[in-house]
Structures are given as structure tokens and as C-alpha cells.
Amino acid sequence: RKEVEQDPGPFNVPEGATVAFNCTYSNSASQSFFWYRQDCRKEPKLLMSVYSSGNEDGRFTAQLNRASQYISLLIRDSKLSDSATYLCVVNMASGGSYIPTFGRGTSLIVHP
Amino acid sequence: DTAVSQTPKYLVTQMGNDKSIKCEQNLGHDTMYWYKQDSKKFLKIMFSYNNKELIINETVPNRFSPKSPDKAHLNLHINSLELGDSAVYFCASSPRRTYEQYFGPGTRLTVT
């Protein structure tokens, strides 16, 4: 079983749509959860941290469900510029430290 | 003002050579990382240093040797390069408290 799993997509949505991605993780002792976006041939950029109570940043909402071991990202009113790969990151407990573990990413394409 | 910088951006070399990639961050972060992103875009952590001390070393061949002369720098030296080392290598840094990572622009290594 992969440690951090994401649906690779692509999710192909029209501008203005609402789209949601999920990410599941295998290690229940994980702490610190994040969403990053990566544009083609660029570095990953932090989109938002994910807090236990859920958090929102403009059109983006992130949720954490520890019981079911998944995090989610909701994007409202999609823009063309939202087209990118969205990477889920989980810090997994391992031998006294936490290993940042990336999912393989979910590709989003927003079309006019 | 580049927060995390890497040099070189592109590196083309032959099998068997030794090469180094340099990374510097001016964010005052305590923790620095090296990642490898392969042709399938999977981003995997290789090493992490906290205040010049190695804290993560993830099943990486010992041909790869990180060196951290101070907490703002983390260099990666690779001996006896192999075809399978071709990838994009990303450096990142984070504050110890939040683990929010900031990535450098990447070094695209091609081994021929």
C-alpha cells in the first residue's frame, strides 16, 4: 500500500466550477499536513497547511479527517490559472522523526 | 531576493563522473532537504538536515553525500553518476516549528 495516495486525474473542469481532491495516508501517527501546487517544470509551492479544524484561504478550503486518515482540498470558482498538479504532503512518524512524504499528485486542468 | 537558490540549474554529464549541486537559503530556516523527482514526477525525500545535523537519510545509495557547512547551505555531491540518477533534484528549507517547506527552482541532471 502506498503511504500517501492521490487520484492522479486529470480533473478536467470548466472555469467557475468547484472541484475537490482527496488524499489518503497510511500512518495514523502522522502529523503536519500540506497541499502544494506544482506547475509544469517548476518547483512545488506551498498552497496551504491543513489544520485539524479545517482552514480556508480565499477560494481554497482544506480539511483533515484523522479518523479516516485523509485530507481534502476544495477549490471554488476555478480559474484558468489554477491548472497545475496538486501535491498532498504528510509528515509521517518514523524512528523519532517525521518524514515528509509526498503523494504523486492530482492533475487539474481548468478550461474556458 | 531569491529565498532558496540552487546551482546549477542544468547539469549534463557522463556516466562515472562526480558532480555537486549547491543550495542556499536566506530565510533563516533551521531545516533543509534534498528531494529527487523522477521522470514519473514522483517527489521523494533523500536527506534532511537540521542545524547542520543529518536527521533524515532515506535509502539513498552512498554515492550521494550531502554536506551542510552551515544552516543556510546544504550541498549534494554525487559520485560515479549512473543513468538512473537522471532526474530533477530539489532543495527545500523549512522552519522547524511549522515544517512548511520552500523549494528551490530545481537542478535538472541528465546523465548520458
Task: Give B48-104 as a 3 state SS string.
Answer: EEECCEEEEECCCCCCEEEEEEECCEEEEEECCCCHHHCEEEEEEEECCCCCCCEEC
Residue of higher predicted confidence among A92 and A2: A92
Contact (CB, 8 A) for A91 and A99: yes
Interface touch B105/A45, C-beta < 8 Å: no
What letter represents residue B68's amino acid? S
Angle (CA) A74 A88 B43, round 5°: 145
Query: How many A×B Cβ pairs under 8 Å?
Result: 47
What letter represents residue A112's amino acid? P
pLDDT reading at A1 higher than 60: no
Most B CBs within 10 A among A2, A32, A43, hence the mutation to make, goes to A43
- Cell numbers describing residue B50: 537540521
- Would you state the pLDDT for residue B1? 63
Using DSSP, state whether A30 is helix, strand or coil. coil
Which residue in B has a C-alpha nearest to residue A93's C-alpha? B56
How far is Cα A60 from Cα B17, in angstroms, rounded to an integer?
A: 46
pLDDT reading at A61 higher than 90: yes
- C-alpha distances (whole Å) from A24 to each of A65, A100, B87, B102 are 9, 14, 26, 23
The band of A78, judged by pLDDT with boundaries at 50, 70 and 90, is very high
- Would you state the pLDDT for residue B85? 96
pLDDT reading at A112 higher than 70: yes
Mean pLDDT of B32-39: 94
Mean pLDDT of A42-47: 96
Interface touch B90/A44, C-beta < 8 Å: yes
Interface of B with A in 30-49 (CB under 8 A): 33, 40-45, 48
Interface touch A49/B98, C-beta < 8 Å: yes
| Mean residue pLDDT across chain A | 93
Interface touch B40/A105, C-beta < 8 Å: no
| Mean residue pLDDT across chain B | 93
Which residue in B has a C-alpha nearest to residue A87's C-alpha? B43
Most A CBs within 10 A among B43, B51, B57, B91, hence the mutation to make, goes to B43
- Would you state the pLDDT for residue B39? 85
